[in-house]
Amino acid sequence: MNLKTTLLGHTYQFRDLKEIMAKANEEKAGDQLAGIAAENAKERMAAKWVLSELTLEQIRENPLLPPEQDEISRVIEEDLNKKIYAEIRHWSVAELREYLLSSTTGADEIRRVSRGLTSEMIAAVSKVMSNLDLIQAAAKIEVITHCNISIGQKGVLAGRAQPNHPADDVNGIRASLFEALSYGIGDAVIGINPVIDTADSVKAIMNMTKDVINRFQIPTQNCVLAHITTQMRAIRQGGHADLVFQSIAGTEAGNRAFGIDLALLEEADALAHSEGTGAGPNIWYFETGQGSELSGDAHYGMDQVTLEARCYGLARRFKPFIVNTVVGFIGPEYLYDGKQVTRAGLEDHFMGKLHQLPMGVDVCYTNHMKVDQNDMDNLAVLLGTAGVNFIIGVPMADDCMLNYQSTSYHDIATLRETLGLRPAPAFEKWLEKMGIMSGGRLTAAAGDATLFA
């Protein structure tokens, strides 16, 4: 494996693949915090150059975290289709990039090749792609999933209604949910982050949202984003959950910090299939986000893009209905400014899609980042163009429970009208029946929550 290059009159010798992968990243505060980022712009380019010439086989043969030491590495290795891999193992990372971007490569070709790629290969190729590369390649990929309805079709932009309340007041949550529905939002999921992580409280929110769905015959699915063990208790005690949720990390140790492991996810999967209320076959909702492994001191010197890709390697085993990268939630020590958040959002969306995952993005920021709502407007448009399956809808983009800013009900409606995108087909039919949408545009009645009074 060649770890050396001469660039602009300077010879760069890298220690190993892990160092090259880290230094080939675009600038990220989290890689700098971990002490693994490129020293300067030239070293970054040298790493990209060397990486582009490595073969897929060299990446597989030099595991960053050996399968013997980590169950996520084992999942990724086990789920690799060895025959398809054998056909492409001699490709360089540069050739993989060019294959993905080639005008003769379409959705079907990418779907097939993706089965022969490990998460590390997918991370590697993203490091030698520009933002527009990431957008164009992702836009080719169509990942349609079905829980109670199908989402992910070309030309569809779904929205998660996220009507959180700082005290889990079900009346307040319901009011905000009606506001979401009146703007045509809620086809991806009606998903609430609870404050109180107890089975009783979670069950109450599950069943309130399910009642609303039944009462107005809304073609969608519900989910309460408590810890998976709490959701399992709530389901066993009679809670109605179409989807089950969990935040995941890219290493076994990272997941342990989240209080989960593979066995627990499998147990939850079995429970959701036997006692969940969703039609399926896709019944999972996963969330990820660059930086969580480092914050849990579970990164093993790997960069945050590679770790994020490994989350997707884990997620694809469970054939989720939706996956959401919460791209700017974790703070400036991982993604410092609007430029870093934008890059991470596009990387995550592309890497998830190349894993054939139904990717959504929480286009978001906290108040101590050098980011504002204009950055969110920009990234939302870029992702809409890249074919993101769904984004998040909170009232006026201000989540009054989680204390961060995301995208709004208005924003999703605007992206649909501006980019010519539509709600999920089954949901759009329902919106027409309710008089909220006509011909793909909001009617004069839309935006009045008391349509549901």
Partner 1 sequence: MMKQPIDLQELTDRIMKELQERLPQRESVRQESPHSRESAVPAEAPFLEEAPSPMVPKPQSPEQLEEWCASTPARIGVWRAGTRPLTRAMLKFRCDHAAAVDSVYGEVKRETLEHFGLFSVDTQYGNIENYLKRPDMGRVLTDQGTEKLLAECRRNPQVQIVVSDGLSANAIERNLPDVYPALLDSLQANGLNSGTPFFVKGGRVAVMDHIGELLQPEVLVLLIGERPGLVSSASMSAYMCYRPRKGMMESNRTVLSNIHQGGTPPVEAGAHIGTLLRNMLEQQTSGVKLVI
Distance in Å, CB of 343 to partner 1, minimum: 16
Judged by CB under 8 A, the stretch of 57-65, 126-134, 353-361, 388-396 that binds partner 1 is 388-396
* Cα–Cα dist 321/336, whole Å: 30
Cα gap 127→147, rounded to integer Å:
33
Residue window 265-304: x/- pattern of binding to partner 1, with contact defined by CB under 8 A: ----------------------x-x--x--xx--------
Q: Is 397 annotated as a binding residue?
A: no
Tell the smallest beta-carbon distance from residue 307 to partner 1 (Å): 13
- Quick note: the x/- pattern for partner 1 over 223-242, rule CB under 8 A, is --x-x-x-------------
Residue 331's region, left for phi above 0, alpha for psi from -120 to 50, else beta, is left
Q: Is 304 annotated as a binding residue?
A: no
In the beta sheet, which residues pair with residue 394?
Answer: 408
Could you tell me if 450 and 175 are in contact, meaning their C-beta atoms sit under 8 angstroms apart? Answer: no
Of 37, 129, 315, 413, the one binding partner 1 by CB under 8 A: 413
- Strand ranges inside 24-153, DSSP E: 145-146, 150-151
Q: Look up residue 282 and give its two tokens.
A: 């896709």
Q: Which of 52, 92, 119, 176 binds partner 1 (CB under 8 A)?
A: 176
Q: How far is the CB of 200 from partner 1 (least distance, A)?
A: 12
The distance in angstroms from the start CA to the end CA of the chain is: 66
The helix (H) or strand (E) run that includes residue 22 is: helix 17-23
1 known ligand binder: no
Minimum separation from the CB atom of position 395 to partner 1 (A): 4
Tokens of 42: 């030239």
Residue 341's CB: how many other CB atoms inside 10 A? Answer: 26
For 267, counting Cβ atoms within 10 Å of its Cβ (0-12 exposed, 13-18 middle, 19+ buried), the class is: middle
Cis peptide before 358 (omega within 30 of 0): no
Binding mask 30-59 for partner 1 (x = CB under 8 A): --xx--------------------------
Is residue 277 within 8 Å of residue 190, measured between CB atoms? no
Binding residues for adenosylcob(III)alamin: 194, 246, 295, 401
Binding-site ranges for partner 1 (CB under 8 A) = 29, 32-33, 163-167, 169, 171-173, 175-176, 178-179, 183, 193, 195-198, 225, 227, 229, 247, 257-259, 287, 289, 292, 295-296, 326, 329-333, 336, 366-369, 372-373, 394-398, 400, 402-405, 408, 410, 413-414, 417, 442, 446-451, 453
Binding residues: 160-162, 193-194, 246, 287, 295, 362, 401
